[in-house]
Amino acid sequence: MFRKLYLFYFLFFANYTISQISNPDFYREDQFYFSIYYNSIKNGVDELKENKFSSSLNFGFIRDFPLNKSGKLSLGIGAGLGINSLNNNLQLDENILSFNANTQNIQKNKYNYAEIQFPLEIRLRNSTIDKYRFWRLYAGLKYSRILRSKFKFENSSQNYIQKTTPINQDQLGATLNVGFNTWNLGIYKSVRPFFSDPDFPDFKLFKLGLVFYIL
């Protein structure tokens, strides 16, 4: 799947770039992005207790392909990186996941992971070629490939780091970004289980935060 996605990106970019050379009236918007999210996998699971702030920092490039001459409808295809953390009471010990009920005794129960992202967006906006303050509504899908992950645990009697985790390497979710000018609300909801462990199928990633676009 990963190699096929790379091939699709390469062929699409090459074909569309060639076709755009003869259309100087087209303009592009919002090609670089930076976002910060609150991260959660709770998804209604009562046993999971979240503590501290779980974050997701993302940045990357999205090629903007106008679908009409006005530029108000476009397709966005890009690539980026994400750095994520999750703080909760789902302990990982020798690749076994279990809920730790004694949360007051836990100093650290944290998952860290980095990912490469491939967003695909249908983009609606009321921009013009010389108008830089406009409303936008971008909806789509984002595929992510986990590059590395680790788990850290610390309490009064234990302190260890596990460098392999059962986080599903292939993540896929729906995205919605809505806003005006600088400030945009971003929502991400995964459609695949967060963990590859079949005993924990209900955990799905949810992100809520701010997205910033430039150029």
The boundaries of the domain holding residue 182 are 50-214
**At 91, which helix (H) or strand (E)?**
strand 90-93
**At 195, which helix (H) or strand (E)?**
none
Instruction: Summarize pLDDT for 191-200 with one digit per residue, the tens.
Output: 999 999 888 8
Residue 115 located in a structural domain: yes
Average pLDDT over residues 28-53: 90
Instruction: Summarize pLDDT for 141-152 with one digit per residue, the tens.
Output: 999 999 999 999
Average pLDDT over residues 116-124: 97
Average pLDDT over residues 119-141: 92
Average pLDDT over residues 197-211: 92
DSSP 3: H
pLDDT, position 18: 44
Examine the pLDDT at 21 and tell me if it is beyond 50.
Answer: no
3-state helix, strand, coil in the chain (%, to 5): 10, 55, 35
Tell me how many domains the chain contains. 1
pTM: 0.87
Residue 23 located in a structural domain: no
Residue 1 located in a structural domain: no
> 97 near 137, Cβ under 8 Å?
no
Between 168 and 130, where is the model more confident?
Answer: 168
Residue 163 located in a structural domain: yes
Residue 134 located in a structural domain: yes
Residue 45 located in a structural domain: no
Examine the pLDDT at 23 and tell me if it is beyond 70.
Answer: no
Q: What is the mean pLDDT of the chain?
A: 88
Residue 192 located in a structural domain: yes
Nearest to 125 by CA among 115, 138, 106: 138
